[in-house]
Amino acid sequence: MAPKRRHLLALLMVLGLVTAAACSSDGGGGISGGYSIGLVTDTGKVDDKSFNQSAWEGAQDGAANIPASATASYIETEESKDYANNIQLFVDDGAKIIVTVGFGLGEATIEAAKANPDVMFIGVDQWQNEALPNLAGLMFPEANAGFMAGALAGMLTETNIVGAVLGTDLVPPVVFFKEGWENGARYTNPGVQTISTYHPGGLDVAFGDPEWGATTARQALDQGADIIFGAGGATGNGALIEVAGEAGALCVGVDTDQWFTVPEAHPCLVTSAMKLIDVGVAELISQAYAGTMQGGNYFGEVGLAPHHDFDSIVTDEMRDTLAEVMAGLADGSINPMPG
């Protein structure tokens, strides 16, 4: 047999083997049948340890809470041009509830909700200007989260100076975090001085500039701040990592428990001002299933992350004060953004 033939034969055998393997294995086949819940991520992954992951965990919890057997599945968006198509895949498959994660999907979600009045939509971080009956925007009172973190910082600071390194003030939630943080610090420590700096760039760079975050955090440290709030994606993370290198200084994370997302910040991370996206998504799914979901904006819960390595420096007295603050925010007796 000529060598040429032998190679061809070998190739054919491999081909045959692979084809056989391809045909024999079954499985997959989508989510058709039963009560199905779909989730479309922003251009990120469901294991991003942040937004998308929290929402996905919430969708799974929500599915588990539904009495009927419900399944949740997700599509990770590769390109922002695919938002509408990815939502449509779930619509075509008969999904009853569709969760879309992130500000970027806002317009595509509204369009899909208008076109499919029988499907319930949940838009995480999507503010609704006009209420559609089948679309709930899951928003969070960031000012409350910032206030709680600030209240803790006001009690922990020894120099009586607290700093904040923030994404752009173009994004309202960032402003809410900042105002809440400052007011919270003043609430527990009326003499506190605050140094808060917004990133000067546009939306496309403000959350992706860890170098600026680090430099700005350094400036605040040099001016005497000993606890710094980093709120602004990678920019804020840069601030946390810078503070971690300063002995004795503390830092506060944002959105999720950043103990898990920025391990470099372990030497300083005393807590994070969290938005409980998973709880909010699961709650809205239960409501959507029960038929009680209201269109428009729904405000989820916020909270402080565990103190991890710094559990011992947060005294019982401080914990009592924080509990009072939370109760005050909850019943409205404390206004996180007066004026």
Binding site for another protein (CB under 8 A): 3-4, 7-8, 10-11, 14-15, 18, 21-23, 25-30, 73, 75-82, 85-86, 89-90, 93, 127, 129, 170-171, 202-205
**Sheet order of strands, 120-124 included:** 70-75, 35-40, 97-101, 120-124, 135-139, 296-299
Amino acid at 146: G
- Residue among 25 and 292 whose Cβ is closer to another protein: 25
Beta-carbon count within 10 A of 15 CB: 10
- Residue among 28 and 248 whose Cβ is closer to another protein: 28
- Closest listed residue to residue 273, CA positions, set 292, 258, 289, 285: 258
DSSP code, position 203? H
Considering the complex, what minimum distance in angstroms separates the CB of residue 125 from another protein?
Answer: 13
Whether the CB-CB separation of 175 and 169 falls below 8 Å is answered with: yes
Considering the complex, what minimum distance in angstroms separates the CB of residue 15 from another protein?
Answer: 7
Considering the complex, what minimum distance in angstroms separates the CB of residue 172 from another protein?
Answer: 8
- Residue where the block lists tokens 């919270």: 184
Considering the complex, what minimum distance in angstroms separates the CB of residue 45 from another protein?
Answer: 9
Handedness of CA 160, 166, 169, 173 (dihedral sign): negative
- Residue among 126 and 287 whose Cβ is closer to another protein: 126
- Residue among 82 and 301 whose Cβ is closer to another protein: 82
252, HSE (Cβ side, Cα atoms, 13 Å): 33
- Residue among 3 and 190 whose Cβ is closer to another protein: 3
- Displacement of CA 67 from its chain's centroid (Å): 27
- Displacement of CA 198 from its chain's centroid (Å): 20
Strand partners, 166: 198, 231
Considering the complex, what minimum distance in angstroms separates the CB of residue 12 from another protein?
Answer: 11
- Residue among 104 and 295 whose Cβ is closer to another protein: 104
Considering the complex, what minimum distance in angstroms separates the CB of residue 74 from another protein?
Answer: 9
